[in-house]
């Protein structure tokens, strides 16, 4: 009887203690790969941007990381989506660690978001990629520091294209 009780407790612990974030990450990565495949079916850039602006923000983060993986880069995913310190992921580009900040905008980018991300990159002495599906206005272009590259528009679509 005691053995059955112990087994029951162990099974319950196993069922209910697995961290939810792993299943959410797994789900979002699978969804991101489906989104990448779906994007390739659209003929026009406007269709692609409209689709990107409707997906879940966490799936958008994973979408970018999956795109870097498909291009052959090593990707380092965060263990959680919120409380990540402003860094949505990391990628090794040309043997150099690079921070990623993903923003799923529907309109113009908030220039202060770029500045805040740049400050994080500056403190850690790591370059950054601020990637978004919105519009980069004049103020954002002027305020973008040299340690951060903004990727949007056609450059974003090139990133998301299947490698040749």
130 domain-assigned: yes
Given a cut of 90, whether residue 114 has pLDDT beyond it is yes
Beta carbons of 144 and 114 less than 8 angstroms apart = yes
The whole-angstrom distance between residue 51's C-alpha and the CA centroid of its chain comes to 16
Burial of 134 (0-12, 13-18, 19+ CB in 10 A): buried
pLDDT digits (tens, 9 = 90+) for 8-67: 545 455 555 555 545 777 888 899 889 999 999 999 999 999 999 999 999 999 999 999
Give the pLDDT of residue 59.
94
Give the pLDDT of residue 6.
43
Given a cut of 60, whether residue 137 has pLDDT beyond it is yes
Task: Quote the number of domains for the chain.
Answer: 1
CA distance 6 to 154: 59
3 domain-assigned: no
Question: Which neighbouring-strand residues pair with 130?
Answer: 101, 150
65 domain-assigned: yes
The overall average pLDDT reported for the chain is 85
- Rounded mean pLDDT, 130-144: 89
pLDDT digits (tens, 9 = 90+) for 53-111: 999 999 999 999 999 999 999 998 877 666 666 799 999 999 999 999 999 988 899 89
Distances in whole angstroms, Cα of residue 52 to Cα of each of 29, 84, 103, 125, 142: 15, 22, 11, 31, 25
Domain assignment of residue 95, given as a range:
21-160
Give the pLDDT of residue 10.
54
Query: pTM of the prediction?
Result: 0.82
State the CATH number of the domain containing residue 114.
3.40.1350.10
83 domain-assigned: yes
pLDDT digits (tens, 9 = 90+) for 36-46: 999 999 999 99
């Amino acid at each position: 009887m005691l053995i059955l009780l112990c087994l029951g407790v162990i099974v319950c612990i196993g069922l209910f203690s697995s961290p939810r974030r792993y299943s959410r990450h797994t789900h979002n990565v699978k969804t991101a790969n489906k989104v990448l495949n779906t994007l390739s079916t659209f003929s026009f850039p406007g269709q692609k941007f409209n689709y990107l602006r409707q997906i879940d923000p966490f799936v958008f983060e994973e979408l970018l990381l999956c795109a870097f993986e498909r291009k052959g880069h090593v990707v380092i995913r965060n263990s959680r989506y919120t409380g990540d310190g402003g860094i949505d992921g990391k990628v090794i580009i040309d043997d150099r660690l690079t921070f990623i900040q993903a923003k799923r905008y529907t309109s113009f980018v908030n220039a202060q978001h770029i500045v805040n991300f740049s400050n994080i990159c500056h403190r850690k002495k790591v370059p950054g990629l601020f990637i978004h599906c919105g519009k980069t206005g004049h103020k954002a272009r002027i305020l973008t520091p040299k340690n951060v590259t903004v990727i949007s528009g056609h450059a974003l679509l090139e990133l998301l294209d299947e490698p040749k």
